[in-house]
Amino acid sequence: MTTTTSSIQAIGLVMVPTADQDRSIEFYERIGFEKRTDIAFGGKYRWVEVYPPTGTTGLSLAPPREGETVQPKELGVSLTTADADRAHAELRGLGVDVDEQVSRMGDPVPPMFWFRDPEGHSLMVVEVA
pLDDT tens-digit profile, the chain (129 residues):
667 788 998 999 999 999 999 999 999 999 999 999 999 998 889 999 999 999 899 999 999 988 999 999 999 999 999 999 999 999 999 999 999 999 999 999 999 999 999 999 999 999 998
pTM of the model as a whole: 0.91
Q: Are 93 and 79 in contact (CB under 8 A)?
A: no
- Beta bridge partners, 59, equal 14, 50
Q: Are 100 and 94 in contact (CB under 8 A)?
A: no
Q: What is the CATH number of domain 13-127?
A: 3.10.180.10
Amino acid type, 120: G
Contacts of 35 (CB under 8 A, 6+ apart): 25, 28, 29, 48, 49, 50
Task: Decide: helix, strand or coil at residue 68.
Answer: coil
Alpha carbons 119 and 93: distance in angstroms, whole number: 19
